[in-house]
Structure 1
Amino acid sequence: MPHDAYEIITAAATSPWLLTCDHASNRVPPGVSGGDLGLAAGEMERHIAYDVGAAGVTRHLAAALGCPAVLSRFTRLAIDPNRGEDDPTLVMKLYDGTIVPGNRAVDAAEVTRRKAALYDPYHGAVAELAARRPDTIYVAIHSFTPRLRGRRPRPWHIGILHAWDERFSRPLLDRLAEEADIITGENEPYPGHLPGDAVDRHALKHGRPNALIELRHDLIDTEAGQRAWATRLAPILEDARAAMEAADRKQTPGARTF
């Protein structure tokens, strides 16, 4: 039975890949505002509550790569696992023009309670799987809205977010550049990573190769789209991994590869 905060797929898989989906669900746990944040159902289906389509892509991609994945089981509006513990947006009260009634009166004690119930168990599960072998490649799957309210349309099909460690992200960007029909953004629609976010916490601070993949959610809002993108991304990721390992061997002749 899944934990209230997370679900693990194929935990026993031995692949070096580890997938995460921080914003997999729009579920409000019963212990958060009585299971209702006071938003209409239509608002809870928007990107403000979860990453539309990202969970499906993660599941299909985990199957294609034969690797474990960790998916959240709570809405990002309860508490956002892709924020640092001290980030002021850890619990959002206003997001893309929508006020969140159930968060209006949230104080430090309630943030601490939600953190202990949801945020900490999720990150504990990710940390345990990330440490299972020394050559883990950490890939976070997200999605982005085609357009924020009052903003210009976003043209990218996919964005690769990365910070200073480009061992994997650079070969991945190079490989995606070979796909003529895919518009790829580098650190788009958001720049890099923030201190304390999930990639920083589980990859950058441990020296693990990594990338955060953002897919435009109108491309993956159906099961067919999710499967298609996972099927297409799996060999691209493997190609990028091979390029990374080749570059590593070139830099350190005789080094062991896993």
Structure 2
Amino acid sequence: MSEAFTLLSRGTAPILIVADHASAHVPADIDLGIDRALLGTHIAIDIGVAEVAALLVERLSCSAILGGVSRLVIDLNREEDARGLIPHHSDGHVIAGNENADRQARIDRFYHPYHDALTQHLSAMGRPFLLSLHSFTPHLKSAPEQQRPWEIGVLYNEDDRAARLAIPMLEEAGLVVGDQQPYSGRLLNATMNRHAEGGGHPYLGIELRQDIAGTAEGQQRFADILAPVLERCRALLA
């Protein structure tokens, strides 16, 4: 057990699901200085990804590593030296308790154990395929004019092999798909840059829209659609 991550494992299929922002947990000894109601919103957690990951683990007999603390404690999908690793602002909210946070202590306590676990798990897998699972809010407080009509987004940096396979399959399944939406993986793809592209492993980067992923029905819909897409991508690329 680790406070930095949760490991789900239901079989030996060579698929690893990675969810950097699956938890809204804030350890008792860390005070973010915010209204606790914000911990249930998109600034603290990728809503729905833990549930979708668990459904996929059961469906595919594979494994998942889920981040164990809120992205407001430390953003595991950032490079270690990134300014936003410990956020001071998020979508118009000031995270006052992070102003004087011990950066290195949080890196040692959460960031290193999480990424070390990913490295160790991947090294024990033969020809792994990764799914990076995130979710996005349909409405940003800081940019209310921005339209986000996609039901699912596909992100990538240099390696777009799985994206090119997945996008038409997701569209055929009836989803409104964003290619490099709601933001580009060329701008923010740190975990997959390190563990997938850096290790030469094929991967699929997915963003789920939170108003869908936040319901049991939506979680099941996403899992039902993603499972065969993952299997097909892995079969062709791994």
Whether the 8 Å CA contact 1:91–1:111 is kept in 2: the answer is yes
Whether the 8 Å CA contact 1:171–1:243 is kept in 2: the answer is no
1:149-228 matches, within 5 Å, as 149=141, 150-179=144-173, 181-194=174-187, 197-228=190-221
2:130 is paired with a residue whose SS is strand
1:1-258 matches, within 5 Å, as 2-10=1-9, 13-33=11-31, 37-106=32-101, 110-149=102-141, 150-179=144-173, 181-194=174-187, 197-244=190-237
- The separation in 1 between residues aligned to 2:162 and 2:69, in whole angstroms, is 29
- The separation in 2 between residues aligned to 1:131 and 1:194, in whole angstroms, is 27
Whether the 8 Å CA contact 2:162–2:237 is kept in 1: the answer is yes
Root-mean-square deviation (CA), in Å? 1.6
Percent identical pairs in the alignment equals 36
Listed as ranges, the gaps of 5+ residues in structure 1 are: 246-258
- The separation in 1 between residues aligned to 2:91 and 2:188, in whole angstroms, is 22
2:34 is paired with a residue whose SS is coil
1:215 is paired with a residue whose SS is strand
After superposition, the Cα gap between the structure-2 partners of 1:127 and 1:69, relative to the gap in structure 1 and judged at 3 Å, is same
- Aligned pairs, number: 236
Per-residue displacement from partner, 1:56-108 (whole Å, max 9, x unpaired)?
111111111110100111000011000001111001001100001211223xx
Q: Which is worse superposed, 187-196 or 224-233?
A: 187-196
- The separation in 1 between residues aligned to 2:235 and 2:13, in whole angstroms, is 14
Read off the aligned partner of 2:12 and give its amino acid letter.
T
Q: Which is worse superposed, 58-67 or 165-174?
A: 165-174
Read off the aligned partner of 1:61 and give its amino acid letter.
L
1:89 is paired with a residue whose SS is helix
TM-score by length of 1: 0.86
- The separation in 2 between residues aligned to 1:187 and 1:172, in whole angstroms, is 13
- The separation in 2 between residues aligned to 1:115 and 1:205, in whole angstroms, is 21
Post-superposition offset of 1:167: 2.5
Listed as ranges, the gaps of 5+ residues in structure 2 are: none
Read off the aligned partner of 1:219 and give its amino acid letter.
I
Post-superposition offset of 1:195: 7.3
- The separation in 1 between residues aligned to 2:189 and 2:168, in whole angstroms, is 27
Whether the 8 Å CA contact 1:194–1:200 is kept in 2: the answer is no
Structure number with greater Rg is: 1
TM-score by length of 2: 0.93
Post-superposition offset of 1:139: 0.8
Whether the 8 Å CA contact 1:130–1:138 is kept in 2: the answer is no
- The separation in 2 between residues aligned to 1:104 and 1:176, in whole angstroms, is 41
